[in-house]
Amino acid sequence: MSMFRRSFIATCAGTALALSAGAVMAAGKEVKLGYALPQTSHYGAGANGWSQAIEKSLGGKFSFKQFPASALGGERELIEGLQLGTVEAAIVSTGALSNFVNEVGVVDIPFLFRDTAHARAVLDGKFGQDLLAKFQQRGLVALAWGEQGFRHLTNNKHAVKSVADMKGLKIRVTENPVHITAFRTLGASPTPMSWPEVISALQQGTIDGQENPISVLASTKLWEVQKHLTLTAHVYAPVVFIMSPSFWGGLSDAEKAAFTQGAKSGAAASRAFVDAVEKKGVEEAKSHGMQVVDKVDQAAFRTALEPAYQQYAKKFGQKTLDTIANVK
């Protein structure tokens, strides 16, 4: 081999080595980020927003590795993973959260928020930020409120048009005492279940229905396993961007500020995704043959829930409920 050819090969090999070392360095410290739904969902939008913001502000020092679609387990396991430090970051619904941070259950009360703007104002204002601070005492670092939208009811038995139609329906609910009380009070038979079990339970008919926002319905193609959709909008569903305290403890103040700001960007991306999917998701469900009841008498649902509201007021304090109602 000529000198030239040997030195050319050596240069190429050296460059390749430097490039691959560079790629490893650019990959940065790994941050495992888990969530329940596909990467094409509002959770994925939030995760991408968070990850891109960190990439931009901290220049490749950290790199998010996403685990969508419950790859790290159900939401309860994910939260436990954060507490143990086996997972660095997660985006979770409030479904299982109130078992860890009791006070958070207040946001799960049916018809608590007048509309999306009210919910966002409460969560982004003093009340919501004080609530995030409470996570610290339970071994969790909560950084921002993202969104899923308002939850609606689906089932395979019949069209639900009124409270009376709820009677006896076996509805999967999250492992959330506030939701369980609400569905029991409405006459349904609530079955708490972790999300990864839901689709097969619907297929097998061990439950009749479930309740989730349009964002979840569309990203999981729930029309494949559910016939009826009723736009009950019975409860607003936020999500929380959370980090593990052991990872958080190793960050500098500037890095903590960047992760917090990044979570806020991710949260905004999840809300933008929900705004878009809310408009087209119902039409998509109809086009796949779902029977849709567009509206229910929400006042009648609220009246039927009166015994539950008395329990919630005792649990969370009427003052807390009034504080939320008074946010403009």
Provide the 10 A C-beta neighbour count for residue 42: 30
Interaction between residue 195 and ligand PAF (CB under 6 A): yes
One character per residue 196-235, x = contact with ligand PAF (rule: CB under 6 A): ----------------x---x-------------------
Interaction between residue 66 and ligand PAF (CB under 6 A): no
Rule CB under 6 A: which of 278-307 touch ligand PAF?
none
Furthest C-alpha separation in the chain:
90
Nearer Cβ to ligand PAF, position 231 or 327? Answer: 231
Rule CB under 6 A: which of 146-185 touch ligand PAF?
148, 174
Nearer Cβ to ligand PAF, position 31 or 193? Answer: 193
* Closest approach of ligand PAF to the CB of residue 17, in Å: 43
Size of the site for ligand PAF (CB under 6 A): 11
What is the torsional sign of CA 70, 34, 101, 106?
negative
* Closest approach of ligand PAF to the CB of residue 233, in Å: 15
* Closest approach of ligand PAF to the CB of residue 118, in Å: 20
Using alpha carbons only, what angle is made at residue 261 by residues 256 and 265, rounded to the nearest 5 degrees? 145
Residue 227, classified by CB atoms within 10 Å of its CB into exposed (0-12), middle (13-18) or buried (19+), is middle
Nearer Cβ to ligand PAF, position 153 or 237? Answer: 237
Nearer Cβ to ligand PAF, position 58 or 132? Answer: 132
* Closest approach of ligand PAF to the CB of residue 95, in Å: 4
Provide the 10 A C-beta neighbour count for residue 325: 12
Closest CA to 181 of 72, 262, 286, 106: 106
Interaction between residue 95 and ligand PAF (CB under 6 A): yes
* Closest approach of ligand PAF to the CB of residue 92, in Å: 6
* Closest approach of ligand PAF to the CB of residue 320, in Å: 23
214 sits in the region (left: phi over 0; alpha: psi -120 to 50; else beta) called alpha
Residue in the shown chain whose Cβ atom is closest to ligand PAF: 93
Strand-pair partners of 78: none
* Closest approach of ligand PAF to the CB of residue 53, in Å: 21
What is the torsional sign of CA 49, 51, 54, 56?
negative
Rule CB under 6 A: which of 8-37 touch ligand PAF?
36-37
* Closest approach of ligand PAF to the CB of residue 198, in Å: 7
Interaction between residue 94 and ligand PAF (CB under 6 A): no
Distance CA 214, CA 116 (A): 14
Rule CB under 6 A: which of 112-151 touch ligand PAF?
148
* Closest approach of ligand PAF to the CB of residue 174, in Å: 5
Helix (H) or strand (E) holding 20: helix 3-27
Residue matched to tokens 């650019």:
26
Closest CA to 153 of 120, 181, 201, 190: 190
Q: Which residues of 165-180 are buried (b: 16+ CB within 10 A; e: fewer)?
A: bbeebbbbbbbbbbbb
Nearer Cβ to ligand PAF, position 150 or 195? Answer: 195
Q: Provide the token pair at 323.
A: 């504080």
Residues of this chain that bind ligand PAF (CB under 6 A):
36-37, 75, 93, 95, 148, 174, 195, 212, 216, 237
